[in-house]
Amino acid sequence: MPPDGWNGAIPSSRPGTVAEPSHGPDTTPPRGVSISSDPTDRPPSGGPSADGVPAAPDPGPGGVPSAADQPPVAAEPADGLPPAGADGAGVPLAGLHVEEAPAADRSGAQPAGDQGEPADGHHDEPDDHHAAGVSLVAKVRAVLRVRDFRKLWLSMSLSSFGDWLGLLAITATATSLVDGFAGQNYALGAVLLFRLLPAILLGPLAGAFADRFDRRKTMVVSDVLRFALFASIPIVDELVWLFVAQFLIEAISLFWIPAKEAAVPNMLRKDQLEPANQLSLVTTYGFTPVLAALVFAVLTTVGDRLGTTVPSLDESKLSLYLNALTFLVAAVVIWNLPSISGRRAAGTQVTGESFLHSLRAGFSFAGHTPLVRGLVVGITGAFVAAGVVIATGQAFASSVGGGEAAYGLLFGAVFIGLGLGISLGPSIARDLSRERLFGVAIVGAGVGVGLLAWTFTLWIALLLVVVMGFFAGIAYLAGFTLLGTEVDDALRGRTFALVQSLVRASLIVSLAVVPFGVGLLGRTSVDVGSVELAVTGERVMLFVAGLLAVAVGVLAYRQMDDGRPVPLVADVVTALRRDTTARRRLAGGGVFIAFEGGEGAGKSTQTRRLQEWLTEEGLVARTTREPGGTPLGAKIRAIVLDPASAGLSPRSEALLYAADRAQHVHDVLRPALDAGEVVITDRFVDSSLAYQGAGRTIPMDDVRSISRWATQGLQPDLTVLLDLPPEVGLARARGRAAADRLESESLEFHQRVRGTFRALAEAQPDRYLVLDARRSPDELAAAIRTRVSDLLQGLPLQQLPQHARVPRTRRHGDHVVQTGSTPQLHP
Instruction: Mark the binding-site residues for ATP, compressed into ranges.
Output: 597-604
725 is an interface residue for ligand ATP by CB under 6 A: no
Closest approach of ligand ATP to the CB of residue 604, in Å:
3
Among 742, 760, 784, 800, binds ligand LXEULUCI (CB under 6 A): 742
- Of 13 and 37, CB closest to ligand LXEULUCI: 37
CB-based contacts of 76: which residues, under 8 Å, 6+ apart? Answer: 83, 138, 141, 142
Nearest to 63, CA basis, from 776, 764, 729, 784: 729
Chosen from ligand ATP, ligand LXEULUCI, none, partner binding at 600 (C-beta under 5 to 8 Å by type): ligand ATP
Between 486 and 740, name the residue whose CB sits nearer to ligand ATP.
Answer: 740
Q: Which residue's CB is nearer to ligand ATP, number 106 or number 732? A: 732
Q: Which partner from the list ligand ATP, ligand LXEULUCI, none does 780 bind, CB cut-off 5 to 8 Å by kind? A: ligand ATP
| Alpha-carbon span 440 to 474, nearest angstrom | 9
Beta carbons of 529 and 388 less than 8 angstroms apart: no
CA dist 462 and 441 (Å) reads 19
| Whole-angstrom distance, CA of residue 262 vs CA of residue 284 | 18
Choose between 232 and 645: whose C-beta lies nearer to ligand ATP.
Answer: 645
Closest CA to 199 of 149, 255, 261: 255
Contacted entry of ligand LXEULUCI, ligand ATP, none for residue 736, CB cut-off 5 to 8 Å set by kind: ligand ATP
Please provide residue 444's backbone torsions phi and psi, each rounded to the nearest 5 degrees. -60, -45
Which residues, numbered 507-546, are part of the site for ligand LXEULUCI (CB under 6 A)?
Answer: none
Give per-residue burial for 127-149: e unless 16+ CB within 10 Å, then b. Answer: ebeebbeebbebbbebbeebebb
Q: What is the DSSP string of 263-287?
A: HGGGTS-GGGHHHHHHHHHIIIIII
Residue 49, amino acid: S
CB of 631 to ligand LXEULUCI, least distance (A): 16
Does 77 contact ligand LXEULUCI by CB under 6 A? no
Residue 496 binding result from ligand LXEULUCI, ligand ATP, none, given CB thresholds of 5 to 8 Å by partner type: none
Residue 325 to residue 521: CA distance in whole angstroms:
46
Q: Which residue minimizes CB distance to ligand ATP? A: 602
Cβ-based nearer residue to ligand LXEULUCI, 97 or 752: 752
C-beta of residue 399 within 8 angstroms of C-beta of residue 538:
yes
In the three-class reduction of DSSP (H, G, I as helix; E, B as strand; rest coil), residue 681 is classed as strand
Residue 683 touches ligand LXEULUCI, criterion: CB under 6 A: yes
* Candidate segments 72-80, 121-129, 425-433, 624-632, binder of ligand LXEULUCI by CB under 6 A: 624-632
Q: Is 626 in the site for ligand LXEULUCI (CB under 6 A)?
A: yes
Question: Closest Cα partner for 650 from 606, 697, 583, 684?
Answer: 697
Annotated binding site: 597-604
Helix axes 489-521, 239-263, angle to 10 degrees: 140
Q: Does 166 contact ligand ATP by CB under 6 A?
A: no
With CB under 6 A as the contact rule, the residue among 173, 688, 711, 818 that binds ligand LXEULUCI is 688
691 binds ligand LXEULUCI (CB under 6 A): yes
| Residue 153 binding: pick among ligand ATP, ligand LXEULUCI, none (C-beta 5-8 Å cut-off by kind) | none
Q: How far is the CB of 702 from ligand ATP (least distance, A)?
A: 24
Of residues 742 and 783, the one with the C-beta less far from ligand LXEULUCI? 742
Rounded to whole angstroms, the Cα distance separating 759 from 686 reads 10
Residue 381, SS3? helix
Among residues 571 and 599, whose Cβ is nearest to ligand LXEULUCI?
Answer: 599
Instruction: Please state the closest distance from residue 627 (CB atom) to ligand LXEULUCI, in A.
Output: 5
Closest separation in Å from C-beta 726 to ligand LXEULUCI: 11
603, 637, 741, 752: which one contacts ligand ATP (CB under 6 A)? 603
The whole-angstrom separation of Cα 542 and Cα 548 is 10
Q: Indicate the residue type of 558.
A: R
What does 605 interact with, of ligand ATP, ligand LXEULUCI, none (CB < 5 to 8 A by kind)? Answer: ligand ATP
As a whole number of angstroms, the distance between CA 97 and CA 101 comes to 12
Q: Which does 626 bind (CB under 5 to 8 A by kind): ligand ATP, ligand LXEULUCI, none?
A: ligand LXEULUCI
Tell me how far apart the alpha carbons of residues 760 and 767 are, in angstroms, rounded to a whole number: 10
Q: Alpha-carbon distance 293 to 412, whole Å?
A: 10
Q: Closest separation between CB of residue 659 and ligand LXEULUCI, Å?
A: 11
Round to whole Å and give the CA distance between 91 and 754.
11
Based on CB atoms, which residue is closest to ligand LXEULUCI, 579 or 743?
743
- Is residue 596 within the footprint of ligand LXEULUCI (CB under 6 A)? no
- Is residue 627 a contact residue for ligand LXEULUCI (CB under 6 A)? yes
Rounded least distance, CB 820 to ligand LXEULUCI, Å: 25
Binding part of the chain for ligand ATP, among 70-78, 524-532, 776-784, 795-803 by CB under 6 A, reads 776-784
Q: Which of 310-318, 535-543, 598-606, 642-650 is the region at the interface with ligand ATP (rule: CB under 6 A)?
A: 598-606
Which part of the chain contacts ligand LXEULUCI (CB under 6 A), choosing from 96-104, 179-187, 625-633, 777-785? 625-633
Q: Does 601 bind ligand ATP (CB under 6 A)?
A: yes
Q: How does DSSP assign 718-760, residue by residue?
A: EEEEEE--HHHHHHHHHHHS---TTTTS-HHHHHHHHHHHHHH
Per-residue DSSP letters for 453-466? HT--SHHHHHHHHH
Contacts of 689 (CB under 8 A, 6+ apart): 81, 700, 703, 704, 707, 756, 760
**Distance of alpha carbon 109 from alpha carbon 578, whole angstroms:** 36
DSSP helix/strand/coil, 789? helix
The DSSP code sequence of 309-377 is HSTT--HHHHHHHHHHHHHHHHHHHHHT-GGGG-TTTTTPPPP---HHHHHHHHHHHHHH-HHHHHHHH
Q: Figure out which of the listed residues 357, 736, 812, 826 binds ligand ATP, where binding follows CB under 6 A.
A: 736
Nearer to ligand LXEULUCI, 584 or 683 (CB): 683
In whole angstroms, what is the distance from residue 460 CA to residue 798 CA?
A: 50
Q: Does 687 bind ligand LXEULUCI (CB under 6 A)?
A: yes
CB of 690 to ligand LXEULUCI, least distance (A): 8
When binding is defined by CB under 6 A, the residue of 602, 643, 676, 726 that contacts ligand ATP is 602
Instruction: Catalog residues that contact ligand ATP under the rule CB under 6 A.
Output: 39, 597, 599-605, 732-733, 736, 773, 776-777, 780
Instruction: Catalog residues that contact ligand LXEULUCI under the rule CB under 6 A.
Output: 599, 625-627, 641, 657, 683, 687-688, 691-692, 742-743
